[in-house]
Structure 1
Amino acid sequence: MSLQSFIHSLQQYKGTSVFNPWRDYDKQCDIGPEAPAIRSQQLVQYLQRRLASARFLCVAEAAGYQGCRFTGIAITCERMLLNAHRQITSAMILGRNGQRTSRPDCVYMTSNPQRRSGMNEPTDTYVWGAIIDSGLVPDDIILWNIFPFHPHKESPFTNRTPAERELVQGIAYTQALLALCRPDITIAAIGRKAADTLQSHQIPCQAMRHPANGGAGLFRRQFAQWTAQQADV
């Protein structure tokens, strides 16, 4: 499978109470009908920079409304792509300026910083911060989600835990991504559900604490230990 075929396969997915960032357009939340194409192109450019050489793959559970829902890139929020983040820049992610796809006047936005600078996701900040703090070159790691789409409740600005059937559906995309990566790539799972799903499909990984809900400190330590161990191999 080529990268373009992989992106095309993502664009075909359709689920109940699931937003597909690379296929779906929400006129209440997106800047315009071009939003899915922008997100698709950003994912293509993100992966093009990394597939041939990245040594690490970090896999979380699912896309969230504050991150991948509007960027098309796992564990990455708009403020990073718009150079409005305090630590992470678009050059680290894409090598160029990214584009916003959230509507500044979206009725679901609750703060002026969201309207002015785009969406921001704390988990994305923790993970990218760990990457930089560990001294990794950003192109040396790929971020992904077991269920790469955004599962939500009634409001589009909510997240829900993916159902078991969705995790089973999602693992096929992780396997397809792995087939495009270098064969010796090392995998870490962020959160128990991601670890359990990978391991149940015979994909070896290092399990890490999810940084949310008080887990940021342990996650940072585990991430630093993991990358340091791989440097010694």
Structure 2
Amino acid sequence: MTPTAFVNALSKLKLDNVFNPYADKCPVHDRSDAVSARRCNLRGYLNAAVEIGVDTIWMGRDLGYRGGRRTGLALTDEYHLSEMTQRYPGSNFKQATVGPALAERTASEIWSVLRAVDLPPLLWNVFPFHPHEPGNPFTNRKFTARELQQVDVLNEMLIKWLKVRRVVAIGQDAFNYASRFGVEVVAIRHPSYGGIKDFRNGMSALYDIPIEVLNPKRQASLF
């Protein structure tokens, strides 16, 4: 498996009411080269992950319309693209949309922890695309069991290829899913829907980070 082969495999999947950022172009927000930019983003990210020896995945549920739908990167919004280049040396990330870079609340919480860990993880999702409500592409919904079946093999290939030893599951859906891969799985509450405090406490305990450090606004001012 190579980054190029993996991205090509992702780009071939087509599902109803699912935006595939590696194949689909948003007629409202995307630049003309958005699809190739997002493919390049993911290829560079995977290459960097291999080079630095990533052995842990932080796994969310799926891409959101303000974050990964636009960047092609899990748990990462456009606001953090330049910072991502510094955390994953050798990569070079490009904004694929027109207008100012958008920020996403979940991504801000994720990155407040990511800045504080020594060896960064691979950020990934159970379902690596953006599922949305029919007729409304700028909404978020949970993937279906049928949709998830389409990516099982690719997720397993990714975990084996990177020799992942631990999955930090961000939310219950990720925890339920990750247990099938035969690696250590740690459950952390998702920061959305009132879970910010539990998310920060869980990550603080897991990585031995002082809780007062895990504040996105505080860290951004120090960065």
Alignment of 1:122-141 (within 5 A): 122-133=105-116, 135-137=117-119, 140-141=120-121
Q: Name the counterpart of 1:11.
A: 11
Change (3 A) 1:97 1:48: closer
Matches within 5 A, 1:213-228: 213-228=193-208
8 Å contact kept, 1:17–1:151: yes
C-alpha offsets along residues 119-173 of structure 1, whole Å, 9 cap, x if unaligned? 211101101111223x334xx3100001000001122211111112222323322
Letter in 2 for 1:36: V
- Asked if the contact 2:31/2:98 (under 8 Å) is kept, the reply is yes
Equivalent of 1:174 in 148, 151, 155: 155
Q: State the Cα deviation string for residues 150-201 of structure 1 (Å, max 9, x = none).
A: 0011222111111122223233222111122135x32111110111112245
Alpha-carbon distance in structure 2 between the residues aligned to 1:37 and 1:179: 26
Amino acid at match of 1:187: V
Could you tell me whether the CA contact under 8 Å between 1:90 and 1:97 is conserved in 2? yes
Q: 2:93 aligns with which of 71, 92, 98?
A: 98
Number of equivalent positions: 207
The residue that corresponds to 2:67 in the other structure is: 67
1:228 Cα offset (Å): 4.1
Shift in CA distance, 147/215, structure 1 to aligned 2, threshold 3 Å: same
Q: 2-side partners of 1:209 and 1:6: how far apart?
A: 29
After superposition, the Cα gap between the structure-2 partners of 1:226 and 1:172, relative to the gap in structure 1 and judged at 3 Å, is farther
Where do 1:1-233 residues align within 5 Å? 1-32=1-32, 34-52=33-51, 53-81=53-81, 83=82, 88=83, 90-93=85-88, 98-104=93-99, 117-133=100-116, 135-137=117-119, 140-153=120-133, 154-183=135-164, 185-200=165-180, 202-228=182-208
2-side partners of 1:127 and 1:96: how far apart?
Answer: 19
**How far apart are 1:221 and its partner, in Å?**
1.7
Question: Structure 1 residues 89 and 55, CA, compared in 2 at 3 Å: closer, same or farther?
Answer: closer
Distance in 1 separating the partners of 2:185 and 2:85: 28
Deviations 1:15-38 (A, max 9, x none): 010000011112222111x11110
Give the whole-Å Cα distance in 1 for the aligned partners of 2:206 and 2:103: 26
TM score, norm. by length of structure 1:
0.81
Give the unaligned 5+ runs of structure 2: 210-223
Name structure 1 gaps, 5 residues minimum.
Answer: 105-116
What is the RMSD computed on CA atoms of the aligned residues? 2.1
Q: C-alpha distance in 1, partners of 2:124/2:84?
A: 19
Question: Which residue type is aligned with residue 182 of structure 1?
Answer: K
More moved, 34-43 vs 167-176: 167-176
Cα gap change, 1:166 to 1:80, in 2 (>3 Å)? same
